[in-house]
Amino acid sequence: EPEVTQTPSHQVTQMGQEVILRCVPISNHLYFYWYRQILGQKVEFLVSFYNNEISEKSEIFDDQFSVERPDGSNFTLKIRSTKLEDSAMYFCASRETGGLGEAFFGQGTRLTVV
């Protein structure tokens, strides 16, 4: 069964450092997303990506965040200068279509900023 793959599963970084979270969406999917979940809180939308550009982003997704689909299979989230409050689980998701349909989520990357 196809699945969304995320690496690494856990990343510890020092405050102020840059991190790149990686995702391989399902191969025939066209819409890609990043969500995050701070421990004990709800899953929050960060950004959606379609046709090689950002289609929507939340208020959380400020200038410190960027996304890229460098090679047609990977989808990355970069945080330029991490803050303590960026500590969370980050989930990548993909969908086959933009309308009706389920989202497939990866297992997440647990980011810990120290």
Partner 1 sequence: SQKIEQNSEALNIQEGKTATLTCNYTNYSPAYLQWYRQDPGRGPVFLLLIRENEKEKRKERLKVTFDTTLKQSLFHITASQPADSATYLCALHPGGYNKLIFGAGTRLAVHP
Judged by beta carbon, residue 14 or residue 28, the one nearer partner 1 is: 28
Pick out residues in 51-110 that bind partner 1 (CB under 8 A). Answer: 55-56, 58, 89, 91, 93, 95, 98-108, 110
Q: How far apart are CA 18 and CA 99, in angstroms?
A: 34
The one-character DSSP state at 75 is E
Three-state DSSP class for residue 90: strand
Q: Is 45 in the site for partner 1 (CB under 8 A)?
A: yes
Q: Is 38 in the site for partner 1 (CB under 8 A)?
A: no
**Shortest distance in whole angstroms from residue 84 CB to partner 1:** 21
Judged by beta carbon, residue 14 or residue 100, the one nearer partner 1 is: 100
Q: How far apart are CA 84 and CA 56, in angstroms?
A: 25
Three-state DSSP class for residue 103: coil
Strands 19-24 and 5-7 come out as antiparallel
Site residues (vs partner 1, CB under 8 A): 4, 31, 33, 35, 41-45, 48, 55-56, 58, 89, 91, 93, 95, 98-108, 110
